[in-house]
Structure 1
């Protein structure tokens, strides 16, 4: 019988907020019971330097505190009315998580995107750059720029333009002048990259 009474007096901490072994005494004057339950400070829950510490109370005195607690204490009639409305708190606009099936593009002023990796993704999703719908990466676009080709160029146009530029910049075509050697290397690298890209497969 005594075991059952003890269970009733010491409810499960899972449902009653008991914090054992706090080392605190009940904040109620004259009470020497352990303070195992938190309650807001008498002056309120916030001060000029941040939240004030909780008061710790025994079960009996925290029950008495809770029975006197009034959420609306200190509010005007209009504030109480607003707090009791069924839609109170739902007026705030929330950020949309999706837009047309995809995330919203970020504001370009917020970061640097030198390889155009993020920008390319959003351009592909909003408007394909090629009539065949094949994707172009940032590197694809950079290589097309080196070769002077449009985004919609096909494999045959790629080969034709490559041959034309190699003839133009090769030293054998310029009387041994190697001034265009750097440009020739860029043309070769761009062609090698594009011929393996999905858009030109």
Structure 2
């Protein structure tokens, strides 16, 4: 007889009293066990029908997940985080403008591309855009096109921010 490495349910099933017991079989014996195993053994026709419904197991309502913007962040007053690894995730979501206008994710991303903070106004955005276009444009760099992707990102960010409600 070979040592058992395949687990099969035993006589008592999992329930309130614990996980139940298991029997261990070798490959040949687990194949024989699986061939004769009947999950529905001892059930009435109504119980079998209830188990086979497509939504069986989904009867309980689940809670909705919270997004990072909805939470104020971790409340660990005594936790020392020298690299600010935990709070960094929540700092971006808490960024607000001095005038109280909300920033969406696209606004934050565009500001990051331009290297600006949330308190930037239209004049600062325009000035930073001009600086970056001069830095990355091939005509200003002797025809060097290595910064073409960065230039496209800057133009796209500026175009977005120009029409963003937070900066109107």
Q: TM-score range by the shorter chain?
A: 0.3 to 0.5
Length-normalised TM-score, structure 1? 0.40
Higher-RCO chain (CA-CA 8 Å, sequence separation at least 6): 2
